[in-house]
Amino acid sequence: MIFVFIVVLGGCKNKVTETEEKTLYTEFQLIDSLGVPTTSFHVGDNVYFYCAIINRTGETQPWWKSSTAPIVFFEVFIGDSFIGSSVDGMGFADMIVSGKLLNSDILALKDSWLANLKHGVLPVGEYTVWAKPQLRFDNFGALPDEKIDFKILP
């Protein structure tokens, strides 16, 4: 599986902090193969997951995670049934990994359902995907999980 880490400038969706002037945001989207945000796909389409953490605090924010796993996992469900995750079949070392997110920078991960060789094409149905950030910030703690409902059409 290929993980892509991106540093970009962009919009915001979920404010992690309570104060307007010092904010840490997360942005979670599903996108199609052209990079267009969507929640409707067709059988055979690859579903792309994008999650970004945006630092608007005015300060560098130290972070850490407890393994060599990606900065976020994506878990897919149909109803209450777990279908799979972006890290199915992978192993990661348990160790503290740390870094710093500079002010105005974005730490992002783009992944896709079919990038994992254990996954097949998703059949017609209504699904939910959860983005589960693995980073912990020294000044803000854990980031919230976020979900998006999507559908696979014939």
* Mean pLDDT, range 106-123, rounded to an integer: 97
* Structural domains of the chain, with CATH: 4-153 (2.60.40.2360)
What is the model's pLDDT at position 36? 97
Q: What is the pLDDT of residue 111?
A: 97
- Structure confidence at residue 134 (pLDDT): 95
Mean residue pLDDT of the chain comes to 89
Q: What is the mean pLDDT of residues 24-49?
A: 96
* pLDDT of amino acid 66: 95
SS (H, E, C) the chain: CCCEEECCCCCCCEECCCCCCCEEEEEEEEECCCCCECCEEECCCCCEEEEEEEEECCCCEEEEEEECCCCEEEEEEECCEEEEECCCCCCCCEEEEEEEECCCCEEEEEEEHHHCCCCCCCCCEEEEEEEEECCEECCCEECCCEEEEEEEEC
Q: What distance in Å separates the CA atoms of residue 99 and residue 33, rounded to the nearest whole number?
A: 30
pLDDT at 5: 37
Read off the pLDDT of residues 52-96 as tens digits, 9 standing for 90 and up: 999 999 999 999 999 999 999 999 999 999 999 999 999 999 999
Q: In Å, what is the CA distance from 20 to each residue of 24, 56, 74, 103, 141? A: 10, 10, 28, 15, 18
Who has greater pLDDT, 14 or 44?
44
30 pLDDT higher than 50? yes
Would you place residue 22 in the very low, low, confident or very high pLDDT band (cuts 50, 70, 90)? Answer: confident
- The answer to whether residue 19 scores a pLDDT higher than 80 is no
